[in-house]
Amino acid sequence: MQPKLGLTGWLRWFWRQLTSMRTALFLLLMLAIASIPGSLVPQRTSDPNGVTQYFTDNPDLAPILDKLQAFDVYTSAWFSSIYLLLFISLIGCVIPRTKHHFQALRAKPPTTPARLGRLSGFTTQDAPAHTDARDAITHARTVLKSSGYRVARFDSDTESSVSAERGYLRETGNLVFHAALVGILVTVGFGGGYGFSGQRVLVEGQTFVNTLLAYDSFNPGRFFDDSTLDPYTLSLDDFSVSYEQRNLQAYGQPIDFTADVTVTPKGEAAEPSAVKVNGPLRTNGTSIYLLGNGYAPTIQVTAPDGTVVFSDSVPFLPQDANLTSLGIVKVPDGLAEQLGMIGFFYPTQDKAASGANFSSYPDLEYPLLTLNVYTGDLGLNAGVPTSVYALDTDTLTQQTGGKTDVASIELKPGESAALPGDLGTVSFVDNNPTASAAGDFTQSVPRFASFDIHHDPTQIWLISFSLLVLFGLFTGLLVPRRRVWVKATTRIDGTVHLEYAGLARGDDPALEAAVTTVADRHLKLLKTHQPVVAHPESI
């Protein structure tokens, strides 16, 4: 009859399985395989538009994949369970090893084996004449100690030996590596909870105050307290772009984006600064990143009675490398009807053979704004939040462009046009009419920059753990752990026979060379310490 495993027995069995190297290896390989789908299918966190597109393109497959959490692979139940099991396995493996290592660190090297002949780098030598076996081992001990070995000597009537071990740092590094990985996991898991990230678009000349309401979007961590936001102000003074103009292969490629900003901490003096693509601005506990930019044409809508009902620089979203840009204007109040406009902006307008407009260069060489006008219900009255970058045309009637037979409104900076149905006029305000009059349009349209503002107090922890990971890898993989023994036996004739040997504990390509070096140094030391006066018994 087989003995029955009780509950604790089963648990112990399960724990032993989980913490075995074989399971850890299996989980590692599972982790690698489980990561692959996230690179094949768009992920909500990194590519939300891709996910939407995927649903449109694969209406049948997408919902099934969604059930399997294929669009959130890295937070999915199955992916999480693999890495959590892996880390439990890792912790279960590391704790006993740490204990064991602490004991090893305090223990003496083990007794010298009776036979060294079978070990690595085994060498025998005859000690110089008149050497005493115990003295020889004392010298061997010195040699080994000076090479960083921990030593223990063993003496008997016939032989003396020293047992030495080095490279404890290998196991230390190993344990540090694994512990630091746990540190990284914990920091990543909980760290995000203490920070926030927010986005804000600023047109040249605009100012933003670091408060909750001023953000276009704001994602606080679970443990983040909004009231701790430091209310500094950030103004975008100027956004400058330089384009490649000499190299025809890369003509028009942007080579620099610089957002000149002014930061004013509460109650302090204003400080001019700059944000660049690879140069975030670290200020007041936040990091400000420059993640996007484009044009924000200044558009003004005037009612027939001359009242200005809309006047704003509207950020237009770039659609291609030459900054053909798309923007939306919504005028809910002040006109006879609610007015919506879909605008295209071409910084350097050109016409294709088909008659369609396009932009042929990203800078302001020959700017043109075209507007398709819609009237009707903008859908703003229901109180449902709507995007400022989208216009729902279902409840609107198109008045210009498209299939209406009425040409789109086309405006150059400084021009105005009448809105259809005597609604009023729309103007494309020129930011610098004098320069434009002289043919230089580069100042006519303001630019906008979109900033990401982040606060993550745990990054310093992450860096520290990462450095520990590297330290652990270097030492855990490259420091050789080895044992070396030196044994001295006195023969019947009084001469001393020396034996040297080593044992690798882990990968150790240089073990044999190390044993040889120890032997060489030892013999040299023995020779220099050879007694000048012969031993009394040999006289």
Applying CB under 8 A, the residues found at the interface with other proteins are: 21-22, 24-25, 28-29, 31-32, 35-36, 38-39, 42-43, 45-47, 50, 73-74, 188, 197, 244, 246-247, 249-250, 253-257, 276-280, 287, 289, 291, 452, 454, 459, 462-463, 466, 469-470, 473-474, 477-478, 507, 509, 512
Tally of CA atoms within 13 A in the half-sphere of 141 that contains its CB: 16
Q: Which is nearer to other proteins, 180 or 396 (CB)?
A: 180
Retrieve residue 231's tokens: 């209310």
Q: Kindly state the smallest distance separating residue 39's Cβ from other proteins, in Å.
A: 4
The Cα 450–Cα 321 span in angstroms is 17
Q: Which is nearer to other proteins, 66 or 132 (CB)?
A: 66
Retrieve residue 422's tokens: 């005597």
Q: Kindly state the smallest distance separating residue 263's Cβ from other proteins, in Å.
A: 17
Q: Kindly state the smallest distance separating residue 426's Cβ from other proteins, in Å.
A: 34
134: buried, middle or exposed (CB in 10 Å: 19+, 13-18, 0-12)?
A: middle
Q: Kindly state the smallest distance separating residue 437's Cβ from other proteins, in Å.
A: 32
Q: Which is nearer to other proteins, 45 or 111 (CB)?
A: 45
The Cα 435–Cα 367 span in angstroms is 13
CB 379 within 8 A of CB 391: no
Q: Kindly state the smallest distance separating residue 31's Cβ from other proteins, in Å.
A: 5
Q: Which is nearer to other proteins, 218 or 441 (CB)?
A: 218
Say if strands 254-264 and 281-283 run parallel, antiparallel, or are unpaired: unpaired
Q: Which is nearer to other proteins, 45 or 395 (CB)?
A: 45
Q: Which is nearer to other proteins, 281 or 423 (CB)?
A: 281
Interacting residues of 381 by C-beta distance below 8 A, sequence separation 6+:
332
Q: Kindly state the smallest distance separating residue 79's Cβ from other proteins, in Å.
A: 10
Q: Which is nearer to other proteins, 451 or 485 (CB)?
A: 451
233: buried, middle or exposed (CB in 10 Å: 19+, 13-18, 0-12)?
A: middle
Retrieve residue 419's tokens: 């809105």
Q: Which is nearer to other proteins, 227 or 247 (CB)?
A: 247
Q: Kindly state the smallest distance separating residue 312's Cβ from other proteins, in Å.
A: 27
Retrieve residue 17's tokens: 């399985």
The Cα 474–Cα 485 span in angstroms is 26
Say if strands 271-276 and 396-398 run parallel, antiparallel, or are unpaired: unpaired
Q: Which is nearer to other proteins, 36 or 212 (CB)?
A: 36
Q: Kindly state the smallest distance separating residue 149's Cβ from other proteins, in Å.
A: 23
Distances (CA, A) of 463 to 169, 353, 452, 470, 497: 22, 56, 21, 11, 54
Interacting residues of 502 by C-beta distance below 8 A, sequence separation 6+:
119, 120, 121, 482, 483, 484, 485, 511, 512, 514, 515
Q: Kindly state the smallest distance separating residue 507's Cβ from other proteins, in Å.
A: 6
Q: Which is nearer to other proteins, 39 or 228 (CB)?
A: 39
Q: Which is nearer to other proteins, 42 or 424 (CB)?
A: 42
Q: Kindly state the smallest distance separating residue 411's Cβ from other proteins, in Å.
A: 31
Q: Kindly state the smallest distance separating residue 470's Cβ from other proteins, in Å.
A: 7
The Cα 299–Cα 310 span in angstroms is 8
Distances (CA, A) of 91 to 21, 180, 181, 186, 241: 12, 11, 10, 13, 51
Interacting residues of 287 by C-beta distance below 8 A, sequence separation 6+:
280, 281, 453, 454, 455, 456
Q: Kindly state the smallest distance separating residue 454's Cβ from other proteins, in Å.
A: 6
Q: Which is nearer to other proteins, 141 or 170 (CB)?
A: 170
Retrieve residue 452's tokens: 């990401």
Q: Which residue has the tokens 């703003």?
A: 380
Q: Which is nearer to other proteins, 287 or 495 (CB)?
A: 287
Could you write out the DSSP letters of every residue in 266-318? TTS--EEEEEETTB-EEETTEEEEEEEEEE--EEEEE-TTS-EEEEEEPPPEE
CB 344 within 8 A of CB 326: yes
Q: Kindly state the smallest distance separating residue 187's Cβ from other proteins, in Å.
A: 11
Sheet with 281-283, strands from edge to edge, namely 217-220, 196-203, 447-455, 286-295, 281-283
CB 490 within 8 A of CB 160: no
